[in-house]
C-alpha cells in the first residue's frame, strides 16, 4: 500500500485479464438489458404490422358500412357487427358459466378440501390448461355438439351455447388458479377473527374470505374473459360459423360466428391486398385493442394488490 | 336452521361443483384415449399419409410439430431467460420496468390468431420467409415469451438474496454471481417454465395457420424454409375439411397430440417436484 509501484507491477497481469472479463461482462449485461426491453419492442411490432396491413380497410370501407349488420365479403359487405356481437355473446356466456364454477372450485380446493384431495385436484386442473384448443374443439365437435343437439332437439349442435361451454372449460384453469391465489392472500388474522367471533367456517368463508378476495376474483374474471374472447380453434370448430346477428335469446342455440373464427377461416382463401384481406387484419386490430384493454384492467387490479403488499 | 348443517350442506355443494368441473376433464382424456388407442400402431406413427389422408400414418405431422417446437425453443429460450435475468437481477422499480411488465401481460393476452396475422404480415410477407418452419418458429417464439419470462423470473427470484450477497462479498461481480450461483440454482424452475411454454406452442394451431402449415404434404421438411404438416393443424384439417374421414384416424391423431403435450406436462411437474424436495433452502 505504501509502495504503489510494486503493487502495480505485481498486479499488471491479472488487471489486464480482469479488464478483458470486465469488457465481455459489460457486453453481456448490455445484451441482457436489450433482451429485457425486447418485450416492449415485440408488442409495438405486433401493433405496427397489424396497422400496416389493416389500416387500409378503414379507408376503403366507410364507418357506417363497417358497423352494419351484414358480413358477406364476396359481395362487398363488410359489416363487422355480427362478428363482434358473436364474440361478445359467446365470451359473456362462457364467463357466466365459468365464474360460479371456477370460484366455487377455488374455494373448495383452497378452503375446504383435505390435503389429499387437493393433491389430486390440482394436477387434473393443470392438465386441462395443457390440452390444446384444437383437441378441445375436436372433442366439442364429435362429442358435445351431438349431445347438445339431442338434448335441445335442435337441427344442429354446433351453436353459440356449445362454443360457450367449451370456452368456459378453457377459461376455468385460469380463473381457478388466479382466484385461489386471491383467496390465499387474504390474511390469516381475518379468518381467525371471523372464527373467534363464533362464526362457522362456512360463514367465515362467505362473509370474510371471499369478499376479501374480491379484487383478485375480478382479476380472474378479466383474465378468463381475455382468454375466451381470443380463443380461435375450438370456437371455430364448435360454433357453426354462421355470420348472423344474435338478436334474441334463441340465438344462443343457433350457429354463430366470432371475430377470431372469421380471420382463421377466411384468411387462407383471400387475395392479398384486397379489401377483404385488409379487413381481416382490421378485425385483428379490433381484437388486439379489446384484449389489450381487458388485460390492462386485469393488470391494474394485480398492481393494486402488489402496491398494498406491505400491509399483508 | 342448524349452523353446522348449513356448513355441511354448503361444503357438499362446493364439492359437487368441483366434481362437475373435474369430471368433464377426465371425460375428454378418457374418450380420446379410448377411441384413439385403436388407431395407434407402429405404422400409424412412422409412415406417410396416403389415399387422401384416409390411410397411412401421420409421420410428417409428428416430425413437423417436433421441428417447429425445436425452432421455437432456439429463439424463445435465450430471449426469455435473458429477459427474466434482466427483470429479476438488474431492473429497478422504474416506469420503464413497469412498462416491460405491462408488455409481458399484454403479450400473454394477445389472441393466438392475432399472432398468426402478425407472423403473416412480418415474417411471411415483409421478411419474405414465405410460409415456412422459420416464419412459424419465430411467430410461436414471440407467443411463448411471456410464459418463459414469467416462470423463469419467478425461479430466479426464489433464489435467496444471501446467495448474491455472499458472492459479492467474495469479490465476485454481479454477472459472476448470476452465472455461477443464481442461474444454476434457478435452473430447474427455468426448465419447467421453458417446457410449459413450449408445450403450449406445440399444441397451437391458430398462429401457424398462415405461417407454416401445409394441408397435405407427404414428405419430411428438409430445410427451415420448407412448409410442413403439423399435428394440431392436421387434426383440424381431418376433422373439418376432409369429408368421410374415418373417426379412428381423427381420434388417433388427437391422442398422439394429447399424449405429446401431456407427457411434456408431466415431465415439467416431475422436475419441479424433484428439485423442490432436494433443495436445501
| Assigned domain for B235 exists | yes
**Cell numbers at residue A73, please?**
365479403
pLDDT digits (tens, 9 = 90+) for A175-218: 999 999 999 999 989 889 989 998 999 999 999 999 999 888 99
Instruction: State whether residue A130 sits within 8 Å of chain B by CB.
Output: yes
Task: Report pLDDT for A17.
Answer: 58
Q: State how far the Cα of A268 lies from the Cα of B213, in Å rounded to an integer.
A: 11
| Assigned domain for B54 exists | yes
CA dihedral B56, B62, B64, B67 (to 10 degrees): -150
Q: Phi/psi class of residue B229: alpha, beta or left (left: φ > 0; alpha: ψ in -120 to 50)?
A: beta
According to DSSP, the residues that pair with B49 across neighbouring strands are B56
pLDDT digits (tens, 9 = 90+) for A29-76: 999 999 999 999 999 999 999 999 999 998 988 888 888 888 888 888
What is the per-residue DSSP string for B193-217? HHHHHHHHHHH--GGGTTTTB-SS-
Query: With bands split at pLDDT 50, 70 and 90, how would you rate the model's confidence at A311?
Result: very low
Closest Cα in chain B to A18: B173
DSSP class of A80? -
**Cell numbers at residue B248, please?**
379412428
Task: Report pLDDT for B67.
Answer: 95
A8 pLDDT higher than 50:
no
Residues A270 and A164 in one domain: yes
Instruction: Give A98 or A7, the one with higher predicted confidence.
Output: A98
Q: State how far the Cα of A295 lies from the Cα of B1, in Å rounded to an integer.
A: 43
User: Chain A 58-87, CB below 8 Å of chain B: which residues?
Assistant: none
Residue ranges making up the domain that contains B121: 36-276
Residues A55 and A67 in one domain: no
Q: What percent of chain A has pLDDT over 70?
A: 90
Task: Report pLDDT for B1.
Answer: 64
The number of domains in chain A is 2
Phi, psi of A45, deg, nearest 5: -60, -45
Nearest CA of chain B to the CA of A139: how many Å? 7
| Assigned domain for B127 exists | yes
Q: Which of A109, A226, A298 sits opposite B18 (nearest CB)?
A: A109
Burial class (CB in 10 A: 0-12, 13-18, 19+), B210: buried
The residue out of A60, A81, A109 marking a domain boundary is A60
Residues A180 and A291 in one domain: yes
Closest Cα in chain B to A132: B203
Nearest CA of chain B to the CA of A3: how many Å? 23
pLDDT digits (tens, 9 = 90+) for B256-269: 999 999 999 889 88
| N residues, chain B | 281
Nearest CA of chain A to the CA of B222: how many Å? 24
Residue with cell 385436484: A121
Residues of chain B predicted below pLDDT 50: none
Task: Report pLDDT for A15.
Answer: 59
Give the pLDDT mean for A12-26. 69
Query: With bands split at pLDDT 50, 70 and 90, how would you rate the model's confidence at A298?
Result: confident
DSSP class of A267? G
Residues A189 and A209 in one domain: yes
| Beta-carbon separation of A233 and B250 below 8 A | no
Asked if B272 and B192 count as a contact pair (C-beta separation under 8 A), the reply is yes
Task: Report pLDDT for B157.
Answer: 94
Residues A199 and A255 in one domain: yes
**Cell numbers at residue A1, please?**
500500500
Task: Report pLDDT for A303.
Answer: 57
Residues A121 and A175 in one domain: yes
| Beta-carbon separation of B10 and A25 below 8 A | no
Residue ranges making up the domain that contains A191: 63-308
Task: Report pLDDT for A1.
Answer: 42
Q: State how far the Cα of B73 lies from the Cα of B65, in Å rounded to an integer.
A: 12
Chain B CB contacts of A265 under 8 Å are none
Instruction: Give A244 or A257, the one with higher predicted confidence.
Output: A257
Asked if B73 and B194 count as a contact pair (C-beta separation under 8 A), the reply is yes
CATH code at position B82: 1.10.3720.10
A124 pLDDT higher than 60:
yes
Closest Cα in chain B to A29: B175
Q: State how far the Cα of B145 lies from the Cα of A42, in Å rounded to an integer.
A: 10
Task: Report pLDDT for A245.
Answer: 80
| Beta-carbon separation of B261 and A294 below 8 A | no
Nearest CA of chain B to the CA of A241: how many Å? 12
**Cell numbers at residue B240, please?**
373439418
CA angle, B257 then A179 then B19, to 5°: 60
Give the pLDDT mean for A270-297. 93
A160 pLDDT higher than 60:
yes
The number of domains in chain B is 1
Query: With bands split at pLDDT 50, 70 and 90, how would you rate the model's confidence at A5?
Result: very low
* Number of neighbours of residue A66 by Cβ within 10 angstroms: 17
Residues A152 and A214 in one domain: yes
Amino acid at each position: 500500500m505504501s509502495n504503489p509501484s510494486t503493487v502495480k507491477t505485481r498486479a499488471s497481469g491479472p488487471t489486464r485479464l480482469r479488464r478483458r472479463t470486465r469488457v465481455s461482462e459489460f457486453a453481456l449485461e448490455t445484451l441482457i438489458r436489450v433482451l429485457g426491453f425486447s418485450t416492449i419492442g415485440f408488442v409495438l411490432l405486433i401493433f405496427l404490422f397489424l396497422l400496416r396491413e389493416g389500416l387500409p380497410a378503414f379507408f376503403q370501407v366507410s364507418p357506417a358500412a363497417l358497423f352494419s349488420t351484414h358480413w358477406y365479403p364476396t359481395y362487398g359487405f363488410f359489416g363487422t357487427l355480427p362478428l363482434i356481437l358473436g364474440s361478445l355473446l359467446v365470451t359473456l356466456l362462457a364467463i357466466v358459466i365459468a365464474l360460479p364454477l371456477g370460484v366455487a372450485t377455488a374455494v373448495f380446493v383452497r378452503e375446504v378440501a383435505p390435503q389429499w384431495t387437493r393433491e389430486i385436484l390440482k394436477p387434473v386442473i393443470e392438465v386441462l390448461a395443457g390440452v390444446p384448443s384444437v383437441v378441445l374443439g375436436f372433442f366439442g365437435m364429435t362429442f358435445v355438439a351431438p349431445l347438445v343437439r339431442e338434448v335441445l332437439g335442435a337441427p344442429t349442435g354446433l351453436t353459440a351455447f356449445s362454443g360457450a361451454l367449451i370456452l368456459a372449460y378453457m377459461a376455468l384453469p385460469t380463473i381457478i388458479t388466479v382466484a385461489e391465489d386471491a383467496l390465499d392472500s387474504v390474511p390469516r388474522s381475518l379468518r381467525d377473527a371471523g372464527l373467534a367471533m363464533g362464526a362457522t367456517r362456512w360463514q367465515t368463508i362467505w362473509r370474510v374470505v371471499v369478499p376479501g378476495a374480491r379484487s383478485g376474483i375480478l382479476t380472474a374474471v378479466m383474465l378468463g374473459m381475455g382468454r375466451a374472447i381470443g380463443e380461435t380453434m375450438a370456437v371455430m370448430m364448435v360454433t357453426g360459423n354462421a355470420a348472423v346477428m344474435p338478436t334474441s335469446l334463441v340465438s344462443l342455440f343457433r350457429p354463430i360466428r366470432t371475430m377470431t373464427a372469421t380471420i382463421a377461416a377466411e384468411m387462407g382463401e383471400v387475395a392479398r391486398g384486397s379489401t377483404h384481406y385488409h379487413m381481416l387484419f382490421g378485425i385483428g386490430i379490433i381484437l388486439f385493442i379489446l384484449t389489450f384493454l381487458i388485460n390492462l384492467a386485469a393488470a391494474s387490479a394485480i398492481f393494486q394488490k402488489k402496491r398494498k403488499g406491505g400491509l399483508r | 336452521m342448524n349452523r353446522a348443517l348449513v356448513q355441511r350442506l354448503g361444503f357438499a355443494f362446493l364439492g359437487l361443483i368441483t366434481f362437475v368441473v373435474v369430471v368433464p376433464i377426465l371425460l375428454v382424456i378418457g374418450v380420446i384415449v379410448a377411441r384413439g388407442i385403436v388407431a395407434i400402431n407402429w405404422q400409424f406413427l412412422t409412415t406417410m399419409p396416403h389415399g387422401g389422408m384416409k390411410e397411412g400414418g401421420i409421420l410428417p405431422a409428428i416430425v413437423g410439430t417436433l421441428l417447429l417446437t425445436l425452432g421455437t425453443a432456439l429463439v424463445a429460450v435465450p430471449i426469455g431467460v435473458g429477459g427474466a435475468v434482466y427483470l429479476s437481477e438488474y431492473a429497478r422499480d422504474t416506469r420503464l420496468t413497469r412498462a416491460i411488465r405491462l408488455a409481458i401481460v399484454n403479450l400473454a393476452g394477445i389472441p393466438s390468431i392475432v399472432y398468426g396475422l402478425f407472423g403473416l404480415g412480418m415474417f411471411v410477407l415483409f421478411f419474405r420467409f414465405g410460409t415456412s418452419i422459420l416464419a412459424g418458429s419465430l411467430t410461436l417464439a414471440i407467443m411463448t415469451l411471456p410464459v418463459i419470462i414469467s416462470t423463469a423470473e419467478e425461479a430466479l427470484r426464489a433464489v435467496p438474496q444471501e446467495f448474491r450477497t455472499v458472492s459479492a462479498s467474495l469479490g465476485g461481480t454481479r454477472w459472476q454471481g448470476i452465472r455461477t450461483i443464481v442461474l444454476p440454482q434457478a435452473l430447474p424452475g427455468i426448465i419447467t417454465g421453458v417446457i410449459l411454454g413450449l408445450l403450449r406452442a406445440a399444441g397451437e394451431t391458430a398462429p401457424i395457420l398462415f405461417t407454416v402449415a401445409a394441408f397435405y404434404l407427404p414428405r419430411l421438411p428438409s430445410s427451415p424454409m420448407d412448409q410442413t404438416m403439423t399435428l394440431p393443424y392436421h387434426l383440424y384439417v381431418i376433422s373439418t375439411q376432409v369429408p368421410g374421414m374415418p373417426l379412428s384416424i381423427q381420434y388417433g391423431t388427437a391422442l398422439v397430440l394429447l399424449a405429446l403435450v401431456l407427457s411434456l406436462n408431466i415431465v415439467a411437474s416431475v422436475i419441479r417436484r424433484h428439485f423442490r424436495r432436494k433443495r436445501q433452502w
